[in-house]
Each structure stands twice: as structure tokens, then as C-alpha cells.
Amino acid sequence: MSDLASLVTDRYGSPPAPGAFGDLVANHTLTTLLAHKSVRQFVLGQALPAGTLDVLVAAAQSAPTSSNLQTWSVVAVQDPGRKARLATLCGDQAFVRNAPLFLLFVADLHRLEKVAEATGQPPGAALAYTETFLIASLDAAFAAQNVIVAAEALGLGGCYVGAARNHPREVAELLGLPPRAVGLFGMALGVPDLTATDDTPAAAVKPRLPAAEVLHHERWDDNDQAQHFEAYDKVLGVFNASQQRADQPAWTARVTTRVATEAEMHGRHELRQILNERNFELK
């Protein structure tokens, strides 16, 4: 089995068809991308190498940005006390406290407002529209994905933190975000702790839905969804058992529960109201 086939097998929990990749081979970039895994266990007390943050930000700013508007910012938090307060706001997750670096990615339309001010112009009318907020959110996501890939290329590990949206008002206050700026998600980064125990296995590549479920050729086709769901429940069940999580519900059951009630949103059902408060009008 080629390195590429092995990587894809880990990603889907089943091997690809023989010869599926022709003469393609795994290079460093493909290996980094296909071997991605969320890391929540970090070597405690181990700081990041000097210059790491600067390299990660350069990688982030190398991502695409709509019309070169550059409508995102990132707040780097390393102070233990501030990180601890953020961890409490972000679902009270220990890995946020323990990571040497926490990044909050921000949809930043405040900058465009300041550009208008600096050039003697009124704030642009487009700042009030959902489209512009969507641009800022996408720009931030592109930048963040470059960061996680760059971090993994440097031998680091990390995990996105969507729980940064649980208490966006408090996060904004803690980090001093201006109007028309809001935290979208966080990222905890550090040196992975590769020590595995019976209770805490080392982080592993989590299988995804079959490619056939997300890839549509020419036109939308969901005729085989039921089979895809059933197959994925089985694959993820095997993975969870290998991670000492055999008691986890099937993926289909978990997804159904996750979107069933407002309570499952952990405060994020108020997000539109909070965005309005922060001067995102979302017309």
C-alpha cells in the first residue's frame, strides 16, 4: 500500500480502490493535510519555539482574502490568567488552559470603518450587510486553516474551539474587541503530548464521512445517503472503541441530538442579537 493510500485509509476508515490515485504520491503537504487530527493534550509547561507565532501569522496572512479586504484579525493569548478566564468562557475546557497559545479569530469590519475614517469618508454602506459579515467570517476561516496546517508542519498540534461563541459578549469584553469586531472561534496550540494511557489514548486521525457523500459529480445526487450514514456509523464506532469511547452514540444519533434543541447550542442561539449589539446589522 502506498503512503498516500495508507493516509486515505486512515482518513476514511477503509482502503481506497486499487490504483485509485494513479501515479500520485504523498508529499509533505499532502501528508500534513491528510494526517490532521485534533490535539487536546499538550506537554505541560513547554513553550512554543521562538518565532512560532510570527510564522503562524505570516501563514495566516498568506491565505486568500476576498477582494484583498483582509477583514479578519486574531488575538493571541498567552497570559495564564487570561487564558484561564477564556477557558471558563469557552466551555470550561482544560486544554484551553493548558495550551501555551490560544488564538481568537475575529471577524473584523472595524478595520474597514477606520480606513474610511482615515480617508475622510463615511463608513461604507456595505458594512451593514450580511454579505460583508460573511466575507469576514470566511476570511477568518481561511486564515485559521493555514495556521493549523502550518502549526502541524512545525510539529505542533492544536484544536479549534467553537465554544468561543458560547459567551461572545464576555469574550469581547475580556479581550477589548471594538464595535464591528466579534470572536468567531478559537484555536488552542501547543506541543502534542504523545503519551498514551489506557484511559487517554494518543490523538488519532478521526475517520470522515465517505467521499461519495460529500462529492457530487455534475449534479446533486443523494440517492445513497442512507447507505453512507449506515457505513459511517460503523466506521466511527470502530474508531471510538479504539479511543476508549465505545459508549459514544452513533454519529447519526449524536448529530440528531446536537441540532434537536436550543439548549444544545449552549447560548449560541443568541448570536444574531449579539452581532446586532456589536454593530453588525446583517441586512
- Evaluate whether 108 touches 184 at the Cβ level (below 8 Å): no
pTM: 0.95
Q: Where are the alpha helices (DSSP H) in the chain?
A: 3-12, 28-34, 52-60, 80-89, 94-98, 110-118, 130-153, 168-175, 211-214, 225-242, 251-258, 271-277
pLDDT at 2: 55
Cell numbers 467521499: residue: 211
CA distance 185 to 98: 18
pLDDT at 200: 75
pLDDT digits (tens, 9 = 90+) for 158-168: 999 999 999 99
DSSP helix/strand/coil, 216: coil
CA distance 264 to 218: 36
- Low-confidence stretches of the chain (pLDDT beneath 70): 1-2, 196, 198
Domains of the chain with bracketed CATH: 1-35 (no CATH), 52-193 (3.40.109.10), 201-282 (no CATH)
Sign of the dihedral through C-alpha 237, 241, 244, 246: positive
pLDDT at 198: 67
pLDDT digits (tens, 9 = 90+) for 50-65: 999 999 999 999 999 9
Task: State the DSSP string of 32-72.
Answer: HHHT------B-TT-PPPTTHHHHHHHHHTTS--GGG---E
